[in-house]
Amino acid sequence: MSKAPAGAVPRILHLHSTFAAGGKEVRATRLMNAWGPRVDHTIVSAEPQAMAAAALVQPGVPVDYPQDFPSLKGRPTPWRLAGLARAMRGFDLVCTYNWGAMDAVMAHRVYADIWKLPPLVHHEDGFNEDEAMRLKPARNLYRRAALGRAAALIVPSTGLETIAREVWRQPEARVLRIPNGIDTAAFAAPPDPAALPIAKGEGEFWVGTLAGLRAVKRLPDLVAACAKLPPDWHLMICGEGPERAAILAAAEVHGIAARVHLPGNVDPAKVVGLFDIFALSSASEQFPLSVVEAMAAGLPVAATDVGDIRAILAPENAALLAPPGDVRALQDALATLAADPALRARLGKANAARARENFDFAVMQAAYENAYARALGGAF
């Protein structure tokens, strides 16, 4: 398809693996909000029930959530792929996200010339628990084939950049690494205690995290790691997902059910500053936005050493990272920070400066606009 006429509002079709309020969805909605009415969006989720990120889209942003779009899941038969391809017609750009949208990428690969489809930009942000420890060879081959016609493959981390080039055999010119960015000023502002349904008690301290409640996040490990903190320390796990019951069960097992709170989805910019320590227990990450948000809010971080987290953090904070799956090491990092207010303040200050200098939203927005403009063959 030719690019939109000059002055026309570009129409972007977003095909997501899920539109729950996780890292990639938060990034996508923030970009949509920044573009406002100058871009029209259509959003489809491979998991139709997972649409919580829709609540993050601001009024005035043109967005549609079609109910009759072909399912992104199923056997990749020629008939099904053809249906997906036909549904891409009429847009100026197709953006696909993660493995859950890879059939749509393949549909575009096979039928782009037949139906003169718009350019496609694929985004990879990481892996679910089924590939957290080892990529599946059959999926690698499928990705390699499907991505053959993509205008660009955007990744946020050095690890994914290496995988894209060496495992999925993507040419260097196609792979773009754009680190995730945030509105650092918004996270540096004072938090809003009213944004949480739980009030912070006098003399109380919080270990907090922002995460989809999924197995790959290893949140029961975080519960275990917090179990031996002093009784004035509570754990705040903000997010939604299928692991809620497992987290609550772990809290019961470790005898800290009264100190573990799951308030659901929150506005991170209003809440993160209420934490005293930010924690992350994932088995797999790439470039987690939540860590950058915590840094911008001036927090120290206790986390597993996965993805680009070591490179994201201020060097002095990176010394506290724990091997993934090592609950004792994560427990020790949390205990070290909990016992030393001066250390928390020093690391938080260093993290905030690093976030402002390296991971501000404006830098990321410009990089995405350049990538999409290149795919469209003109201004975006």
* Residue 200 Rama label (left phi>0; alpha psi -120 to 50; beta): beta
Whether the pLDDT of residue 63 is over 60: the answer is yes
Q: What whole-number percentage of the chain has pLDDT above 90? A: 89
Residue 277: name the closest of 323, 218, 225, 242 by CA: 225
Pairing verdict, β 301-303 and 11-16: unpaired
pLDDT of 129: 67
pLDDT of 1: 33
166, exposed or middle or buried, with CB in 10 Å at 0-12, 13-18, 19+? exposed
Q: For residue range 139-174, list pLDDT tens digits in order.
A: 999 999 999 999 999 999 898 999 999 999 999 999
46's tokens: 């491979």
Measure the CA–CA gap between 334 and 350, rounded to whole angstroms: 18
User: To which residue do tokens 């003169």 refer?
Assistant: 116
Measure the CA–CA gap between 123 and 131, rounded to whole angstroms: 17
Q: What whole-number percentage of the chain has pLDDT above 70? A: 97
Q: Which domains does the chain possess?
A: 11-181+361-376 (3.40.50.2000), 184-358 (3.40.50.2000)
Whether the pLDDT of residue 2 is over 70: the answer is no
Q: 230 forms bridges with which residues in the sheet?
A: none
Q: What is the mean pLDDT of residues 277-299?
A: 94
Q: 42 forms bridges with which residues in the sheet?
A: 13, 64
The answer to whether 327 and 221 have CB atoms below 8 angstroms apart is yes
The mean of the pLDDT values for the chain is 94
Q: For residue range 106-143, list pLDDT tens digits in order.
A: 999 999 999 999 999 999 998 876 776 788 999 999 99
pLDDT of 7: 58
Is residue 289 very low, low, confident or very high in pLDDT (cuts 50, 70, 90)? confident
Q: For residue range 236-287, list pLDDT tens digits in order.
A: 999 999 999 999 999 999 999 999 999 999 999 999 999 999 999 999 888 8
Q: What is the mean pLDDT of residues 214-221?
A: 95
Q: What is the mean pLDDT of residues 215-223?
A: 96
Whether the pLDDT of residue 3 is over 50: the answer is no
Measure the CA–CA gap between 38 and 61, rounded to whole angstroms: 8
